[in-house]
Chains A and B, each alone.
Chain A
Amino acid sequence: MKPATFRYHAPATLTDALTLLSEYGDDAKVLAGGQSLVPILAMRLSRFDHLVDVNRVDGLAGITRENGHLVVRAGTRQRALERDESVAAHVPLLARAAPLIAHFQIRNRGTVGGSLAHADPASELPAVALALGAEFDIASERGTRRADAATFFESLWTTTLEPDELLVGARFPVWSGRSGFGIREVARRHGDFAIAGAACALAADDDGRLARAAIALFGVASTPWRAADAEAALTGAIATDVDAMEVAAAAVRGLDPTDDVHASGAARLAIAQHVVSLALSDALAEVRDAR
């Protein structure tokens, strides 16, 4: 359970980090919080000649408000999502997702950018980003680009990030006005990866009619998964008229989760439907209570 040897780099600036990633390409891996990468290295599931530790890169952590978005810099610890009042005030779904991520000892170290770039399909942050319509700021020596959460996650542990690119921040839209949010998951133990989970965001007009609805599931496919049919059924409905069970059934239609040691595909599907109904009910209740 010891990692193979590697060359360690700890750049102090973004420019230096990008130079290293450009120079070493596929032979290098970014080391952020290390809470997924170090186990992978320890079990020798993967090895890299170079690790580029971004923990000392100046300006890579922090949370700021910017033009209707909450910008979370990639190196921000997951624990900060629980502690930062602006997260709870402006992107409550993110604040509520944070305590579900692993254990507090992991969140003290794990980063927001690391979780998004690692793209484990059972993890919370990719699903939250997908539900809210977040965008990602990505840098390389070639320049910068902005990616939509909707197209960023390609497959299991795979995103559109190129080897020379670094995720530097995530822009979470602030859903203002009358809105409601919910996130629920089922795991064997608190802190384990979810067998299935669902994040839900709703925005309503003054009459309680749903103007916007998002449901993202995690743990049920090779990427976080948007329940487009269920969202369409919700949009335009009066919040108080929604039958959460019915929408949940529609949300998982078409999903075909695989069997694994934790649950059969069929069990996972039933759990997914259950957590959608719970997350949606939470969000609906909040919309109803919102003034």
Chain B
Amino acid sequence: MHDDDIAVTMNVNGERRRARVEARLTLADFLREECALTGTHLGCEHGVCGACTVLLDGDAVRSCLVFAVQAEGARVTTVEGLGGPDGALSPVQDALRAEHGLQCGFCTPGFVVSITALLAENPNPNDQEVREALSGNICRCTGYQGIVKAVQRAVSS
């Protein structure tokens, strides 16, 4: 704790969260350390890999490029907020599993959030649109084919 710490309040997955934080704390670190929501992963911490993608007031953003204090009053949805309350997988998560859209799983939370945001805006994307929308998320295991198939499965489910 420092004297300069700033009080921040936001809604995360439907719960009100309040903390005093350093201004330099990223939203990603806030979610992981203050909220113990470690589903949001940190790969590069400079906006390249997409693993930390969350919904900020409904829009997919990289949570490593937003300071927690900037989310004051905002509504944040992490990967933990996308499944059912009983832990049931969301249709996107289910499709990723069915199509082998993950191997090590490190990048998967970011893909789940990006795909969810894509389908919310464009419920029936073509292959090109899927690939463009997911070009900002890096996966080093799958070669992406299973991920793209998973999106098409989620569309038809």
Q: Which residues of A line the B interface, CB within 8 A?
A: 1-8, 10, 31, 34-35, 38-39, 41-43, 51, 53, 55, 79, 99, 102-106, 108-109, 189-191
Contact = CB atoms under 8 A, between A and B. Distances in A.
29 contacts: A1-B44, A2-B24, A5-B4, A5-B22, A6-B23, A6-B24, A10-B70, A31-B67, A34-B66, A38-B46, A39-B47, A39-B48, A43-B46, A51-B23, A53-B69, A55-B70, A79-B59, A102-B136, A103-B135, A104-B60, A104-B118, A105-B50, A105-B53, A105-B61, A105-B117, A108-B60, A108-B61, A109-B61, A191-B135
Contact of A1 (B6, B23, B46, B118): B46
Interface string B41-56: 0001111101001001
Interface residues of B, number: 34
Contacts of A108: 56, 59-61
Contact of B60 (A5, A10, A102, A105): A105
Contacts of A43: 46
Given A43-B46, A79-B59, A105-B136, A190 B131 contact: yes
Given A7-B4, A104-B136, A39 B65 contact: yes
B23 A5 contact: yes
Nearest to A42: B46
A189 B135 contact: yes
A126 B21 CA distance: 36
A10 B61 contact: no
Contacts of B23: 5-8, 51
B124 to A, nearest CB: 17
B95 interface: no
A90 B22 CA distance: 44
Interface in B1-54: 4, 6, 22-24, 26, 29, 44-48, 50, 53
A87 B46 CA distance: 30
A42 B61 contact: no
B86 interface: no
Contact of A106 (B6, B22, B62): B62
Interface in B58-117: 59-62, 64-67, 69-70, 72, 114, 117
B97 to A, nearest CB: 23
What is the interface of chain B mostly: helix, strand, loop, or mixed? mixed
Given A39-B47, A104-B60, A190 B135 contact: yes
A82 to B, nearest CB: 10
B108 to A, nearest CB: 16
Contacts of B119: none
B34 to A, nearest CB: 15
The 8 closest A-B pairs by CB, nearest first: A103-B136, A8-B23, A1-B45, A39-B46, A108-B59, A190-B135, A38-B65, A3-B24
Nearest to A9: B23
B47 A4 contact: no
Contacts of B67: 8, 31, 34, 38, 53
B65 A35 contact: yes
Contact of A35 (B6, B26, B47): B47
B155 interface: no
Contacts of B48: 39
B24 A4 contact: yes
B57 to A, nearest CB: 9
A105 B51 CA distance: 12
B141 to A, nearest CB: 17
Given A2-B24, A5-B24, A42 B136 contact: no
B109 to A, nearest CB: 13
